[in-house]
């Protein structure tokens, strides 16, 4: 169900949840002032209550009312907001504890999407996780939201997400930042502006509660083994594959932004077409946006879950 911006504003004021396009992925938004509406987000998504939400603001100043960002980094934040960067910082204002999962910190971001910003200006800050059902690939097209919720969740009209990957999350510590989640802003772009301490060599090690859960996976089983058993190939339009199966193209290997834009759409098309086993080509450089793409695919490949079962519950 598609609704206009004006209708969405009314829905939000009536303590309802709406799906909103952002520049990264669709969000499932509710006003932070209505605990009943926040509760609905968790219910609709099937999200564990221990997994906190990002709160979206219309400006840096508005975000700073809620969190303590070290003053030295505030001007740098202005360079990235609005945009696909989330910062986790100490909470300094009372907020519904369901949003923070009772943590003393809050994840904040200013999205770069005219519709999202218009809703925030009309209703106030909006809490919004990615709009997918918990565990599945994020929704990057309107039909993904309709598919996940059988058309029961209203989707606000507006430009569909451009990036196709979620925001990068930095966690503020004493004078430095940890990487909470790789995302649409490559770490290389952030290094000059935030003192980022690489927490670990292993980017699969969870820093954000949400990173502990099974994630980004279609129902279709994904494998990195190219065999005759596979029914489809998730790969690049400009790479030749030695097995003759339908190609679900994510775009050109030379255009990581294009690949990111198509990634979740492609994984979801496998389920749409009832493909049961697909090969995924993960032979690309692990740098820049491709580092994020690599991380998302690693989590989506079911074999990985079986090897690390205790992490993905
Ligand atoms: O691009 C995005 O970030 C999208 C759009 C809608 O803004 N949102 C999104 O939200 O991806 P979600 O809920 O799917 O992912 C948020 C991540 C989760 O892994 C969650 O655990 C983490 O942020 N998070 C939220 N609050 C946190 C906190 N206080 N401390 C550590 N991690 C936190
Ligand atoms: Mg998510």
Q: Is 224 in the pocket of ligand 1 (CB under 6 A)?
A: no
User: Which DSSP state fits 210?
Assistant: G
pLDDT at 308 over 50: no
Q: Is 5 in the pocket of ligand 1 (CB under 6 A)?
A: no
Q: Which ligand is nearest to the CA of 105?
A: 1
Report which ligand 1 atom has the smallest distance to the Cα of 47: 13
Shared domain for 48 and 184, answered yes or no, is yes
For residue 216, being part of any structural domain is answered with: no
The domain spanning residue 53 has which CATH number?
A: 3.90.870.10
Shared domain for 270 and 132, answered yes or no, is no
Report which ligand 1 atom has the smallest distance to the Cα of 109: 7
| Distances, alpha carbon 271 to alpha carbons 96, 164, 232, 298, in Å | 36, 18, 11, 18
Residues 6 or more apart in contact with residue 309 via CB below 8 angstroms: none
- The model's confidence at residue 313, banded by pLDDT at 50, 70 and 90, is very low
Q: Residue 261: what pLDDT?
A: 98
The domain spanning residue 252 has which CATH number?
A: 3.40.50.11030
- The model's confidence at residue 310, banded by pLDDT at 50, 70 and 90, is very low
DSSP per position, 216-268: S--SSEEES---TT-SEEEE-TTS--SS-S-EEE---TT-HHHHHHHHHHHHH
For residue 203, being part of any structural domain is answered with: no
Shared domain for 122 and 174, answered yes or no, is yes
Shared domain for 241 and 187, answered yes or no, is no
Q: Which of 155, 181, 197 is the last residue of a domain?
A: 197
pLDDT at 49 over 80: yes
As a whole number of angstroms, the distance between CA 143 and CA 103 comes to 34
Contact 147, 218 (CB under 8 A): no
Give the total number of structural domains in the chain.
2
Range of the domain at 304: 221-310
Shared domain for 169 and 23, answered yes or no, is yes
Residues 6 or more apart in contact with residue 254 via CB below 8 angstroms: 238
Q: Is 107 in the pocket of ligand 1 (CB under 6 A)?
A: yes
For residue 212, being part of any structural domain is answered with: no
pLDDT at 305 over 70: no
Shared domain for 187 and 225, answered yes or no, is no
Q: Residue 25: what pLDDT?
A: 98
Comparing CA positions, the residue from 217, 219, 182 lying closest to residue 200 is 182
Shared domain for 139 and 51, answered yes or no, is yes
Q: Which of 197, 229, 257 is the last residue of a domain?
A: 197
Report which ligand 1 atom has the smallest distance to the Cα of 169: 23
For residue 202, being part of any structural domain is answered with: no
Q: Is 168 in the pocket of ligand 1 (CB under 6 A)?
A: no
pLDDT at 196 over 80: yes
pLDDT tens digits for 201-255?
455 556 778 776 667 788 899 999 999 999 999 999 999 999 999 999 999 999 9
Percent of the chain at pLDDT exceeding 90: 86
Shared domain for 193 and 228, answered yes or no, is no
For residue 112, being part of any structural domain is answered with: yes
End-to-end alpha carbon distance in the chain: 31
- The model's confidence at residue 136, banded by pLDDT at 50, 70 and 90, is confident
Q: Is 25 in the pocket of ligand 1 (CB under 6 A)?
A: yes
For residue 208, being part of any structural domain is answered with: no
The residue count of the chain comes to 313
pLDDT at 312 over 90: no
pLDDT at 258 over 50: yes
Shared domain for 13 and 152, answered yes or no, is yes
Over residues 302-307, the mean pLDDT reads 51
Q: Residue 309: what pLDDT?
A: 40
pLDDT at 41 over 90: yes
For residue 206, being part of any structural domain is answered with: no
Shared domain for 128 and 272, answered yes or no, is no
For residue 209, being part of any structural domain is answered with: no
Q: Is 85 in the pocket of ligand 1 (CB under 6 A)?
A: no
Shared domain for 47 and 172, answered yes or no, is yes
pLDDT tens digits for 161-172?
999 999 999 999
As a whole number of angstroms, the distance between CA 79 and CA 81 comes to 6
Report which ligand 1 atom has the smallest distance to the Cα of 211: 19
Q: Which has the minimum average pLDDT: 54-58, 253-257, 283-287, 298-302?
A: 298-302
Shared domain for 256 and 189, answered yes or no, is no
Arithmetic mean of pLDDT over the chain: 93
120 three-class SS? helix
Q: Which ligand is nearest to the CA of 208?
A: 1
């Amino acid at each position: 169900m598609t609704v206009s911006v004006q209708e969405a504003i009314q829905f939000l004021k009536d303590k309802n949840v709406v799906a909103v396009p952002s520049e990264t992925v669709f969000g499932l938004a509710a006003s932070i002032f209505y605990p009943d509406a926040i509760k609905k987000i968790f219910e609709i998504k099937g999200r564990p209550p221990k997994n906190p939400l990002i709160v979206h603001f219309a400006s840096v100043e508005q975000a700073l009312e809620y969190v303590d960002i070290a003053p030295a980094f505030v001007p740098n934040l202005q360079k990235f907001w609005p945009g696909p960067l989330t910062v986790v910082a100490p909470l300094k204002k009372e907020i519904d504890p369901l949003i923070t999962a009772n943590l003393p910190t809050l994840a904040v971001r200013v999205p770069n999407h005219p519709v999202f910003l218009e809703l925030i200006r009309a209703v106030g800050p909006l809490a919004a996780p990615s709009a997918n059902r918990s565990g599945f690939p994020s929704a990057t097209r309107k039909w993904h939201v309709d598919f996940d919720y059988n058309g029961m969740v209203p989707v606000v009209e507006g430009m569909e997400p451009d990036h196709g990957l979620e925001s990068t999350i930095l966690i503020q510590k004493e004078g430095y930042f940890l990487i909470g989640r790789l995302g649409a802003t490559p770490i290389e772009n952030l290094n000059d502006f935030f003192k980022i301490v690489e927490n670990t060599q292993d980017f699969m090690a969870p820093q954000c509660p949400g990173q502990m859960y099974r994630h980004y996976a279609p129902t279709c089983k994904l494998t990195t083994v190219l065999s005759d058993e596979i029914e489809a190939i998730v790969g690049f339009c400009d790479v030749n594959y030695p097995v003759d199966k339908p190609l679900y193209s994510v775009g050109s290997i030379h255009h990581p932004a294009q690949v990111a834009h198509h990634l979740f759409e492609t994984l979801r098309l496998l389920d749409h077409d009832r493909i049961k086993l697909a090969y995924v080509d993960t032979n690309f450089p692990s740098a820049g946006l491709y580092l994020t793409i690599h991380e998302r695919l690693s989590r989506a490949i079911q074999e990985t879950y079986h090897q690390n079962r205790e992490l993905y519950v």
